[in-house]
A and B are shown apart, each in its own frame.
Chain A
Amino acid sequence: MQFNSLTFVVFFAVVVTLYYSLSSWTARKTILVVASYLFYAAWNPLFIVLLWISTIADWTIARRISATPDRVRKRLLVTLSLSINLGLLGYFKYGGFLLENFVSLMGGLGIEFVPPAASIVLPIGISFYTFQTLSYTLDVYRGRMQARYSLLDFSLFVSFFPQLVAGPIVRASQFLPQCVESRRATADSMGWGLTLMVFGLFAKVVLADSVLAPVADAVFGAPDTVGTFEAWLGVFAFSGQIFFDFSGYSTCAIGAAMCLGFALPDNFRSPYAAIGFSDFWRRWHISLSQWLRDYLYISLGGNRKGEVRTFVNLVVTMFLGGLWHGASWMFVIWGLLHGFYLVVEHAARTLFGGIAAFDSRVARVAFGFLTFIIVSMTWVFFRAADMGTAMTLLTTMTVPTGMGSLVFAEQLPAIILVLLGLVGWHWATRNSNLELLFERLPLWVRALVISTVVVSIIYSGGGAQHAFIYFQF
Chain B
Amino acid sequence: MHLSTSSSSERVPQGGWLRTWIVTLVIVAVVVTGWEWFVRARGLGDVAVANTAELWVRERERAAALGSDALVLVGASRMQGGIDLETLRALTDAEPVQLAISASPLMPVLRHLANDPDVSGTVVVSLDMSALRILDDESEAQRWIAAYDDFKAGRTAVFYQPAEDRLHQGIDSVLVSFSRNARPHQLVFARTTKSYVRTLPDRSQQFDYSKIDREAAYERRVRLVRGYTDPSFMEISDIDEKFADIEEQVEKLQARGAEVIFVRLPSSKQIREIEDIRFPRDIYWDKFAAGTRARTIHFADYPELGDVDLPDGVHLDASEQEKFTRALAHILFGDSVNRDAVDP
Contacts and interface: CB of A to CB of B under 8 A. Distances in A.
Interface stretch (B19-27, B223-231, B313-321): B19-27
Interface residues of B, number: 54
Contact of B157 (A43, A196, A438, A448): A43
Contacts of A439: 13-14
Interface string A194-233: 1010000000000000000000000001100000000000
Interface stretch (B160-168, B206-214, B253-261): B160-168
A217 to B, nearest CB: 9
B159 A6 contact: no
A435 B160 CA distance: 34
A43 B199 CA distance: 27
Given A5-B164, A459-B185, A460-B185, A265 B3 contact: yes
Nearest to A119: B153
A403 to B, nearest CB: 19
Given A44-B154, A178-B1, A266-B5, A465 B21 contact: no
Contacts of A444: 23
Given A191-B17, A450-B24, A174 B8 contact: no
Contacts of A191: 17-18, 20-21
Contact of B7 (A194, A254, A448, A467): A254
Contact of B160 (A42, A266, A459): A42
Best-surrounded residue of A414, A434, A451 (most CB of chain B within 10 A): A451
B7 A263 contact: yes
Interface stretch (B93-101, B110-118, B176-184): B176-184
Interface stretch (A19-27, A106-114, A155-163, A182-190): A182-190
For chain A, the bracket of interface size reads: 35 or more
Contacts of B238: none
Contact of A43 (B12, B23, B159, B183): B159
B156 interface: yes
B4 A464 contact: no
B9 interface: yes
B164 A443 contact: no
B341 interface: no
Interface stretch (B50-58, B244-252, B292-300, B323-331): B50-58
Contact of A258 (B8, B16, B53): B8
A266 B159 CA distance: 31
Nearest to A290: B5
Interface of B: 1, 3-21, 23-24, 27-28, 31-32, 35, 50, 52-54, 138, 153-160, 163-164, 167-168, 171-172, 177-178, 180, 183-185, 189-190
The 6 closest A-B pairs by CB, nearest first: A191-B17, A263-B9, A447-B23, A451-B27, A435-B11, A6-B167
8 contacts: A7-B167, A177-B1, A188-B15, A191-B17, A258-B8, A262-B9, A447-B23, A455-B28
